[in-house]
Structures are given as C-alpha cells and as structure tokens.
A and B are shown apart, each in its own frame.
Chain A
C-alpha cells in the first residue's frame, strides 16, 4: 500500500531523514517507534506533503506521491492526523467533521458521519460546541474522526496518546484497533513504545533519521536492545 525508498528530507535546515525505507502492507497496522528527534514526525510530514522530500520516493497505492502537494495527497486517501491534534479550535465540532469530508469528494458517503459518531459517541453530544472547548481526549477523537470523514485508504497517526490520561488512551487505541479490523491501513507513530508494540503487527525503529531495526512487533518487544533503549523504565511502570 505504501512503499518508501531511501527518503531524505531536511527540517529547519537539519537533515532529519537520512535515507528511510519502509513498507506498509494493505490492511496492516504498523508502528514507527523512536526517541525524540529521531525524525518520526518529519517522516509523517514528508509522507503527507507538508515537508518536501530532498531525495527518495514515496509510492502510495502504486502511484508516486513524492512531489504531490499536501491537499492532493489527502484527497487520494492518505490522511495524516498530526501531532498535537491540530483541530480547528474556532470552528464547531460539526464544522471540523464536515471539513474533513472535503478529502473524500467522490468517495464521500452520507453515512460516514454516523459511522464516526458511532465510533466516538462523545462527539455526538458536542456537535454544536466550539472544538477548542473539548478536552484533550475529545480533541484527539475529533482529529481522528475528522480524518475518517475523508474516507481514508490509509491513516497516518502522530502520537495519538500524547498528553492523554491512560484510560482515554485506551479508548483511542481501542477505536484504532476497531478501524484496523475494519480494513483500514494504519501507520502509527508512538512514543509509548510498549503500547505501540501491543497494538501493531509490525514495527519499525527509527534512529537518527534512518531505520535501525524492524520486525514483528511482538519480537521487537522482546529484543534486548530495544528493551534497554526504548522500553526501559517505561516497561516497569506500565502494563
């Protein structure tokens, strides 16, 4: 579904991606794990066309999208839920969702809104409220719901658990697993490596702009080096 070959990109003059290659199969839920500053967000921004690629290629569903502009990538069905949610705080919840339907165009279906509200029932009661008035967890659900309105073929998620209480994070991840079970391909960037390994089938480890390791998530979770570097004390604290 998504194939990245030797992708290079600079962010703020720093070479953040130094030849990244990875692949996501259709229907898979894949984790991308790495320390702060490893280039995870830059990689997603590069895939969705926000950060231009310096070299390499991104192929989505057989078509090269390396130089395609961001809004056209979204309209092709590769939707990016950015870090920090980036909901439109001055617009109502409903307006945020309707805006999301823009990416769908000919794929748009009338019942999508109901599907999204069924997945995140909390949003249903808040349709008329300003999106900025929502709590962090609700904003994350809105950000995902808004992307789903675009009838995505594949979802890029950047740190969906950032700043959320564990219980809310559980809800968000449960929703993601439901979506994946329904056939949606997901690439998940997550700082909480343990949680990422638990909910995905395959994982890539990004280190200083290159893929350091990849393998089945369950195997990586047992890997001594990975445990030492990314799970460490986190592993002891959560479970």
Chain B
C-alpha cells in the first residue's frame, strides 16, 4: 500500500534525513522523500495502521529535522 504525502522542508540534506527516519519507522516497508517535488512516498507494510504509522513518522522526522512538515 503506497501513499504520497506533501511535505515542507527547506534543505536537501534534511530531506535525506527525513527519508532515513521514515524508513526506520515500524510499519513502513519503504519510504522515499522527493525533495524536488516536496513529496514523501510511503510504502506501508500489509495491515499497518496507516494513521498511527504516519503519526510516528512525523514525530521521528521532527526529531531529525525540527523545521519540517508532513501534510497528512
């Protein structure tokens, strides 16, 4: 199950860090952050509770890059 989210982030390196953080979140099979399109594409594991997982992804991203936003 793949979903695309709009994100707001200022620097490319921060985008890389967000990608790393999202990838390591439980329930996420794979994640890619497209800095140029300002999009995060998250591939969820089967049966994952998407809203809960995304909440955790947001929290983890905020931790690595304070100045970021994920529009759910």
Q: Do A and B come from one complex?
A: no
